[in-house]
Amino acid sequence: MLYCQLSSRFRIPYAVSLQPKTTWTSSNFSNEKSGHCTSVPRNANMEKLRSGYLFPEISRHELEHTQKCPHARLIRLGIGDTTEPIPEIITSAMAEHAHALSTVQGYRGYGAEQGNMALRRAIAETFYRDLGVKENEIFVSDGAQCDISRLQMLLGSNVSVAVQDPSFPAYIDSSVIVGQAGKFQEETGKYENIVYMKYGHDNNFFPDLSTTSRTDIIFFCSPNNPTGYAASRQQLKQLVEFAKANGSIIIYDSAYSTYISDESPRSIFEIPGAKEVAIEISSFSKFAGFTGVRLGWTVVPEDLKYSNGFPVMNDYDRIVCTCFNGASSVVQAGGLACLSKEGYRALSRVVDYYRGNAEIIVDTFASLGLNLKVYGGRNAPYVWVRFPGYSSWDIFSEILEKTHIVTVPGRGFGPGGEEYIRVSAFGHRECILEASRRLKNLYK
Amino acid sequence: MLYCQLSSRFRIPYAVSLQPKTTWTSSNFSNEKSGHCTSVPRNANMEKLRSGYLFPEISRHELEHTQKCPHARLIRLGIGDTTEPIPEIITSAMAEHAHALSTVQGYRGYGAEQGNMALRRAIAETFYRDLGVKENEIFVSDGAQCDISRLQMLLGSNVSVAVQDPSFPAYIDSSVIVGQAGKFQEETGKYENIVYMKYGHDNNFFPDLSTTSRTDIIFFCSPNNPTGYAASRQQLKQLVEFAKANGSIIIYDSAYSTYISDESPRSIFEIPGAKEVAIEISSFSKFAGFTGVRLGWTVVPEDLKYSNGFPVMNDYDRIVCTCFNGASSVVQAGGLACLSKEGYRALSRVVDYYRGNAEIIVDTFASLGLNLKVYGGRNAPYVWVRFPGYSSWDIFSEILEKTHIVTVPGRGFGPGGEEYIRVSAFGHRECILEASRRLKNLYK
């Protein structure tokens, strides 16, 4: 009997085990003042965050469902968590580095906060060959999500921000935390000071820049999470021109670039002039199965300057040295092995495997008929399915209840995600096939 | 011939290789506007940071000295970087975890952002037994310095801050970055909005709280970096009472607690009532030689509340989930092994080794006669030496020039560090002995 036991592979985030959903906002908070209270004011920015972070919310729904249907064989295509083993050449490199730390010859203490030079060089050669990105422009980190926060700390509260709508929630949440966002407006589902660049099937998954207000910062993710769409060269040229004309900085998230299977640019730095207007964040998480191992990087080009001419890179270097102490040396050894010829080849096979999953998911939804539209999956491990006229939370709930498959409601990524669900292609093949069967049965 | 080749073991921070010392402040900045400049304003807080971060500054001096004396056998007792191998039981646990990641059974993706429960439990049992600290109050991280920044992000710009003077520079620098510090005043060497709690040999290394202004946050480090002094139970009681009376939150840095050899408290939570007024940050770096491996933790007690009664822990949990994605699973496996019976015993021997170094350093300076006074070293891996009437940078330079030993000028830790140098006890024994000989020769 096929049993898709993924439970132990997935985190059960804090919201489930630690606090009730209602503790975040002051309006929900009971204001119980038992015991000593300090006189320290709660950070007003924290107070502006909306209830739970999306993924813990999903987990809460999962948990409720599991309690209701304890014998259901849940298939989790929600949180985009990798499931396939890391090629041995990479884990061996980590093990070897760890072992060396127990020897007099092999022991090393602090590394450079910016990362080991060999790894920075390998990243430059692997991902930016012929693009003129230098190794000293690459800052190795413990992951893209952490880098988003560090970039927010760098920029401070006095900048304006635009995000794609829908988008990965960490851009907005970190923006709220540092005080760029303003108040949340229930009626629109948006923060007042954030510019939401709407995009979707009706505008070729690229925002209409002619009607987009100027902001200091533009968060842009391609291949996109959640839509799975990779921006074309022409679109990215427009974006770079727009940023240049407006004096904006693009923070380009390329965490899924290794999933690109066509001619779409893999880096913003493929676009001429981008080094004067863009920072790129990226990650080993989805490319190398390093979601729990933790490794990423950020490129801050020397040519990128503030309005007073001061190089952004110098301030970012200072942030990295003050607020971070470098990624783990053990993990960096693994990262270096990822970028060896053999390591990279082995990882490409894993990426192909997930791509195969994505294809099955795309085909499944496409075969269902109904009125739904299927996007993504070709250049990213996410499939973005539109159910015209339906609420995304309703679709999420229906699929969960009737097929025991966890997806993510598009609305969780912003107002622009309404009518959609995101389906992750990470998973064992047999689970993906079983999910396919269940969906076909449900809607046949 | 004894050759203390430590070079390859120590990082050469960015300042040396990447940018000149002068790039940080706008006053030093040439304002060269060649090429495109964005219209994004430089974060005014970043502009307030003083020139280089202390340790890169030290490295710059080192480099200059090495260029001047290329054949000198440099001994680095400056940056407090561990030098002794990690016990094999710990590195094996990391290697084993890494290997498991290459198997279908052993692969794991994302872990909980707050850390693996087994490790949180082991930290609670090892460091907080009988102190009532619960595992869900412990947030595992990639190190104390990173946690300081995350705590600053949590608190925001609208709180007032006190630091010990002298103190570890990251408290002040992170405070400047989030906008709590105000302007730097050249004449006093202090930021206008930060309260500097002076302490030293004349007040038993504990600030006079009767003359200390109330602040929201009090950074307090014990055993102290740089002075090597561990606060007594009586002193910490005073501190907790002071915080309680003022409605303040203490951020207590106990990164060196395993070096305590007497009855001094190892945690602020040994003091009754501390759970209502304190957060504790700590680290595996100096205890387990994890400076490059990266692991730490922060305790945020459930009982700690903002002025409106809202639990600080809930907001910190949100910060950890939004701005961090958990410490590396490979490293956490190592952390768990550190806290096993055998691992802990092996680590105690390494700590004893560094304690032996500290003793040699204390004895060396004490034997020199002169007018100098020697502090610390008994409960911490740092020796704090006072040269009454001398500038700490002058002493630093004299020792570097005449003995090729790198120390840290006390002034680098704040105005209260003038007349002192900090000498690190991390190092191979033969280097410590050689340093001792050179110092004795110099001042004989």
pLDDT tens per residue across span A119-165: 999 999 999 999 999 999 999 999 999 999 999 999 999 999 999 99
Q: Do B50 and B167 fall within a single domain? A: no
Banded model confidence at residue B227, pLDDT cuts 50, 70, 90: very high
Domain presence at residue A167: yes
A99 shares contact with chain B (CB less than 8 Å): yes
Tell me the per-residue pLDDT of B345-396, one tens digit each, with 9 for 90 and over: 999 999 999 999 999 999 999 999 888 999 999 999 999 999 999 999 999 9
pLDDT of residue B56: 76
pLDDT of residue B371: 87
Domain presence at residue B37: no
Q: Average of pLDDT values for A279-298?
A: 98
pLDDT of residue A57: 82
Q: Do A372 and A332 fall within a single domain? A: no
Q: Average of pLDDT values for B162-172?
A: 96
Q: Do B279 and B314 fall within a single domain? A: yes
Is the bond preceding A207 in cis, omega lying within 30 degrees of 0?
A: no
- Cβ–Cβ gap B309/A32 under 8 Å: yes
pLDDT of residue B67: 95
Residue A373 near residue A388 (C-beta atoms within 8 A): yes
- Cβ–Cβ gap B46/A315 under 8 Å: yes
- Residue carrying structure tokens 């305590």: B260
Q: Average of pLDDT values for A65-72?
A: 94
Residue A82 near residue B111 (C-beta atoms within 8 A): no
Contacts of B170 in chain A (CB under 8 A): 322
State whether residue B274 is helix, strand or coil.
Answer: helix
Q: Residue A53 above 80 pLDDT?
A: no
Domain presence at residue B118: yes
Banded model confidence at residue B443, pLDDT cuts 50, 70, 90: confident
How close B369 comes to chain A (CA, Å)? 34
A31 shares contact with chain B (CB less than 8 Å): yes
pLDDT of residue B332: 98
Comparing B241 with B28, the larger pLDDT belongs to: B241
Q: Do B125 and B269 fall within a single domain? A: yes
> The domain that contains B49 carries what CATH number?
3.90.1150.10
Q: Do B331 and B364 fall within a single domain? A: no
Mapping DSSP onto H, E and C, the string for chain A reads: CCCCCCHHHCCCCHHHHCCCHHHCCCCCCCCCCCCCCCCCCCCHHHHHCCCCCHHHHHHHHHHHHHHHCCCCCCEECCCCCCCCCCCHHHHHHHHHHHHHCCCCCCCCCCCCCCCCHHHHHHHHHHHCCCCCCCHHHEEEECCHHHHHHHHHHHHCCCCCEEEEECCCHHHHHHHHHHCCCCCEECCCCEECCEEEEECCHHHCCCCCHHHCCCCCEEEEECCCCCCCCCCCHHHHHHHHHHHHHHCCEEEEECCCHHHCCCCCCCCHHHCCCHHHCEEEEEECHHHHCCCCCCCEEEECCCCCECCCCCEHHHHHHHHHHHHCCCCCHHHHHHHHHHCCHHHHHHHHHHHHHHHHHHHHHHHHHHHCCCCCEEEECCCCCEEEEECCCCCHHHHHHHHHHHHCEECEEHHHHCHHHCCEEEEECCCCHHHHHHHHHHHHHHCC
Q: Average of pLDDT values for B324-338?
A: 98
- Cβ–Cβ gap A23/B311 under 8 Å: yes
At which of B314, B341, B368 does a domain end?
A: B341
Q: Do B308 and B204 fall within a single domain? A: yes
Q: Residue B27 above 60 pLDDT?
A: no
B294 shares contact with chain A (CB less than 8 Å): yes
At which of B299, B325, B341 does a domain end?
A: B341
- Cβ–Cβ gap A107/B9 under 8 Å: yes
Q: How many helices (H) and strands (E) does chain B have?
A: 14, 15
A248 shares contact with chain B (CB less than 8 Å): yes
Domain presence at residue B64: yes
Q: Do A396 and A247 fall within a single domain? A: no
Find the helix or strand (DSSP H, E) in which B201 lies: none
A18 shares contact with chain B (CB less than 8 Å): yes
**Lowest model confidence (mean pLDDT) among A140-144, A375-379, B56-60, B386-390:** B56-60
- Cβ–Cβ gap A136/B56 under 8 Å: no
Q: Average of pLDDT values for B414-437?
A: 97
Banded model confidence at residue B52, pLDDT cuts 50, 70, 90: low
Tell me the per-residue pLDDT of B94-118, one tens digit each, with 9 for 90 and over: 999 999 999 999 999 999 999 999 9
Q: Average of pLDDT values for B238-243?
A: 98
Percentage of residues in chain A with pLDDT exceeding 90? Answer: 87
pLDDT of residue A1: 28
Q: Residue B7 above 50 pLDDT?
A: no
Domain presence at residue B204: yes
How close B67 comes to chain A (CA, Å)? 21
At which of B285, B320, B341 does a domain end?
A: B341
> The domain that contains B176 carries what CATH number?
3.40.640.10
pLDDT of residue B392: 96
pLDDT of residue B76: 95
Task: Report which of A231, A255, A207 is spatially closest to residue A376, judged by C-alpha positions.
Answer: A231
- What is the chain B residue with the closest CA to A240? B38
How close A420 comes to chain B (CA, Å)? 24
pLDDT of residue B29: 53
**Closest residue to B308, CB basis, from A17, A42, A114:** A42
- Cβ–Cβ gap B216/A308 under 8 Å: no
Q: Residue A410 above 90 pLDDT?
A: yes
Q: Residue A31 above 70 pLDDT?
A: no
- Cβ–Cβ gap A327/B107 under 8 Å: no
- Cβ–Cβ gap B324/A149 under 8 Å: yes
pLDDT of residue A371: 87
pLDDT of residue A29: 53
Tell me the per-residue pLDDT of A327-364, one tens digit each, with 9 for 90 and over: 999 999 999 999 999 999 999 999 999 999 999 999 99
pLDDT of residue A8: 30
Count of A-B CB contacts under 8 Å: 406
Name the β-bridge partners of B437: none
Domain presence at residue A36: no
Q: Do B253 and B358 fall within a single domain? A: no
Tell me the per-residue pLDDT of B10-25, one tens digit each, with 9 for 90 and over: 333 323 333 333 334 4
Task: Report which of A354, A338, A334 is spatially closest to residue B97, judged by C-alpha positions.
Answer: A334
B contact residues 75-94, partner A, Cβ 8 Å cutoff: 79, 81-88, 90-92, 94
- What is the chain A residue with the closest CA to B427? A109
Q: Average of pLDDT values for B45-65?
A: 86
**Closest residue to B331, CB basis, from A19, A37, A330:** A330
Q: Average of pLDDT values for A400-426?
A: 96
Residue A304 near residue A312 (C-beta atoms within 8 A): yes
State whether residue B408 is helix, strand or coil.
Answer: strand
Q: Residue B232 above 90 pLDDT?
A: yes
**Lowest model confidence (mean pLDDT) among A9-13, A313-317, B291-295:** A9-13
Q: How many domains does chain A have?
A: 2
Q: Residue B82 above 90 pLDDT?
A: yes
Comparing A443 with B299, the larger pLDDT belongs to: B299
The mean of the pLDDT values for chain B is: 92
**Closest residue to A247, CB basis, from B14, B40, B303:** B40
Distance CA A421, CA B8 (A): 52
ipTM of the prediction? 0.93
Q: Average of pLDDT values for A372-385?
A: 97
Q: Residue A105 above 70 pLDDT?
A: yes
Domain presence at residue A182: yes
- Cβ–Cβ gap A146/B24 under 8 Å: no
Domain presence at residue A32: no
**Closest residue to A146, CB basis, from B53, B303, B325:** B325
Q: Do A144 and A59 fall within a single domain? A: no
- What is the chain A residue with the closest CA to B347? A102
**Which range of residues forms the domain containing residue A418?**
9-19+41-85+345-442
A contact residues 394-423, partner B, Cβ 8 Å cutoff: none
pLDDT of residue A32: 52
Banded model confidence at residue B33, pLDDT cuts 50, 70, 90: low
B343 shares contact with chain A (CB less than 8 Å): no
Q: Average of pLDDT values for B281-300?
A: 98
Q: Do B205 and B276 fall within a single domain? A: yes
Banded model confidence at residue A52, pLDDT cuts 50, 70, 90: low
The mean of the pLDDT values for chain A is: 92
Distance CA B258, CA B284 (A): 10
Q: Do B168 and B231 fall within a single domain? A: yes
Q: Do A60 and A192 fall within a single domain? A: no
